[in-house]
Structure 1
Amino acid sequence: MSLLTYKWLIAGILVVFTLLTSLISLHFIGRYRQWLQRGDALADGIFLGVAAFHLFPNAVSGIARTWPTSTAYVLTLLLVGSGFILLFFLERWFIIHEEQQLSTTTTDAWILLGVLSIHAFISGATLGIAGSMTGASLLFIAILAHKGFESFALAVGLHRRWQRHYPTTLLLTGFAGVTPIGIILASFIDHWLQIPTAEWLSSIFNAFAAGTFLYIGTWHAMHDHFDHATDATPRYHKWLWTVIGIAVMGALAFWQ
């Protein structure tokens, strides 16, 4: 199986998985919340581990082929910071609209969908330009681990605004295709561009995605904005599951 075919297979799996978890979430909102929080904490750790042990080093090594190593680190850190700040300000915008009650009953739901869709597309694009099956598999694990909980959070947010299944189901179906679109578009670009250009593009996406992964990974540790329901899970339990996720990704990167 070629790398391009493997990426497209992953895209198909993600469509089905995201759609199933989203629709199932609509029927089980409010149940099993404690285990969902622990699983979400594990997924946060996986994202942090992928950012630290896979995306960031790959971005530095790719840029260092053209620029001095010190410059490569500076450029990578700037791109990581850009990805982090982008999602930070998007979420701040969402919070300000909600606190000041400037939005309509559906505007904040659209913003929530936009924030998660941007991250989903960047995640897919990063996988689409992965240079090996091992790298693509690591990103697939990270995306798959977080996708279920991300879909659950989105289902809760949309259902809270509309209270009807049809518009929520329609938007969740569209959201299921965002990451695969990122994978397919980026894999086409990576496949047809010249190798130096593809390596540069891959390094930029890796660094930018590392910033978004870091933000999503620390999102639930800092606050649970998109889910206001009471979380009975002790904080140290969530930290433990997050550390386990980081350790697993670190071990996989070391093994690679």
Structure 2
Amino acid sequence: METATRTPLYLLHGDATELFSDVRTESVDLVLTDPPYNLGTFMADRQTNLAAMRANNFVKAGWDNQNYDQWTLLMDCFLAESARCLRLGGALVTFMSIIKVESIVRLAEKHGLYYKTTGIWHKTNPMPRNMNLHFVNSTESWVYFTKKKKTGTFNNGGKVVHDFISMAATPASEKRLGAHPTQKPVQLMEHFIRLLTNPGEEILDPFMGSGSSGVAARNLERRFTGFEKDETYYKLARARVQIDE
């Protein structure tokens, strides 16, 4: 009787800039991640009322409060190491604030990553914060690159795939073990993994947070390596990747 083998999943606690050395050169098929946007201080100064409405938010977290030069150095290291780890034609998808996309593209191209597109995730059920004052924030951008080739794996099955993804924000069922302030829904991560990789291939998330990318990789039978610096979120990611359905 054959014994089923589980797809390898490696979750590491520590700083991404140090843990990248554990990943072999040209061993990764997709880097899928949601790094710091460096908006904590910016948002705190804009009277968004975010801190008052939600205690678990990036304004209070501290990890999103670097100055621009510090953030640029972190992103430069992240993109350089991602380029090293990616195989030729491998993909990188990173979520990013729209006001930082140009900076990310500039840094990525320096390291041999070919810019493909900037897309939008439209949250169909956003928090209606300050709805009587201005437009409700219902979108996040994502940026797509390939390594040193103008195309790579794209499993569209001959169908048109738009760069505009419309789906709900992370459901409560995915937060039952705990939540991250910028947690992405598993369905969203699965969308990119299906399109840009094949079963058995390797996914890397250097800023894993609560582990949605790991849950998605496990669901779709991809190998996965994730880094998380915050111990609380690292433990949450381990719990979710192991038992979340």
Q: TM-score, normalised by structure 2?
A: 0.29
Higher relative contact order (CA 8 A, sep 6+): 1
Question: Normalized per residue, which structure has more helix?
Answer: 1
**What is the TM-score when the length of structure 1 is the normalising length?**
0.28
